[in-house]
Chains A and B, each alone.
Chain A
Amino acid sequence: MKKKILFAFPFALILLALANCKPEPKTKIATTTVDSTYIGTKYTIGSPEIAFAFPSITNPYKDSLTVEGILLGRRLFYDKHLSVNGQMACASCHILSHSFADTIPLATNVFGPNKRKAPRLVNLLWEPYMFWDGRQPTIMAQAQDAAHNELGLNDSTTFAYLQADTVYAKLFKKAFGKPGKVTERSIYLAIQEFLMTVISVNSRFDSVMRGQSTFTPDETAAFYGIFTQTLGECFHCHSFGGNYLMANYLPQQTFRNDGLQAANTINDYADPGRGGITGVSTDYGLFKNPSLRNIAVGGPYMHDGRYNTLEQVLNFYSDSLRYSPNMDQFIALHIDKDTAGNYLPTGGMHWTQTQKAQMLLLLNDLTDTSFLNNPNFKNPF
Chain B
Amino acid sequence: MRPGKFLTVAIFSMLAVCMWSCKKPAVTPSPANVFKFNLQLKAKYGSQSFALNTPNIDSSGRFISITALQFYLSHINLIKTDGSKVNLSSAAIVDFSDTTTLTISGNIAAGDFTGISFGCGLDSIQNKSNANDSVFPNPFSGLWNLYWDMVSEYRFEVMEGKWDTQDTASFRNFLVYHIGTNAAYRSTQLNKNFSVCCNTPYTLTLYIDVQQILSNNTTGETINIVTEPETSSGPGDNPAIMPAFADNFSKAFTF
Contacts and interface: CB of A to CB of B under 8 A. Distances in A.
Interface in B4-32: 6-7, 10-11, 13-15, 17-18, 21-23
Nearest to B17: A14
Interface in A197-253: 224-226, 228-231, 235, 239-244, 250, 253
A48 interface: no
Interface residues of B, number: 41
Interface in A232-280: 235, 239-244, 250, 253
Given A55-B132, A241-B149, A229 B236 contact: yes
A333 B132 contact: no
A186 B244 CA distance: 59
Contacts of A250: 143, 145
A13 B10 CA distance: 10
B207 interface: no
Contacts of A230: 230-232, 234, 236-237
A235 B149 contact: yes
In the complex, which of the residues A242, A244, A250 has the most CB atoms of chain B within 10 Å of its own CB atom?
A: A242
- Closest 5 interchain pairs by CB? A10-B10, A229-B236, A17-B18, A228-B150, A329-B174
B165 interface: yes
B92 interface: no
Given A229-B236, A332-B174, A333-B230, A21 B21 contact: yes
Nearest to B11: A10
Nearest to A342: B172
Interface string A21-45: 1101000000000000000000000
Interface of B: 3, 6-7, 10-11, 13-15, 17-18, 21-23, 67, 131-132, 142-143, 145, 147, 149-150, 152, 160, 162, 164-165, 170, 172-174, 176, 226, 229-232, 234-237
A244 B160 CA distance: 23
Contacts of A240: 149
B149 A18 contact: no
A79 to B, nearest CB: 39
B14 A329 contact: no
17 contacts: A7-B6, A10-B10, A13-B11, A17-B18, A21-B22, A22-B22, A228-B149, A229-B236, A231-B236, A239-B149, A241-B131, A241-B132, A242-B142, A250-B145, A329-B160, A332-B173, A333-B229
A293 to B, nearest CB: 16
A244 B14 contact: no
Contact of B21 (A18, A229, A342, A343): A18
Contacts of A333: 174, 176, 229-230
Contacts of A9: 7, 10
A14 B18 contact: yes
Contact of B173 (A235, A241, A325, A341): A341
B149 A243 contact: yes
B21 A228 contact: no
Contacts of A10: 7, 10-11, 13-14
Contact of A242 (B149, B162, B170): B149
A348 to B, nearest CB: 15
A126 interface: no
Contact of A341 (B13, B160, B165, B232): B165
B169 to A, nearest CB: 11
A253 B160 CA distance: 14
In the complex, which of the residues B14, B231, B234 has the most CB atoms of chain A within 10 Å of its own CB atom?
A: B14
Contacts of A343: 172
B149 A244 contact: yes
Contacts of B237: 229-230
B228 to A, nearest CB: 11
A6 interface: yes
Contacts of A17: 14-15, 18
A242 B152 contact: yes
Contacts of B132: 55-56, 241-242
Nearest to A227: B150
Interface in A53-85: 55-56
Contacts of A229: 232, 234-237
A330 interface: yes
Nearest to A11: B14
B23 A242 contact: no
A21 B232 contact: no
Contact of B3 (A3, A224, A329): A3
A18 B17 CA distance: 9
Contact of B176 (A55, A228, A253, A329): A329
A342 B170 CA distance: 12
A356 B195 CA distance: 62
B141 to A, nearest CB: 10
Given A9-B7, A235-B149, A342-B172, A241 B236 contact: no
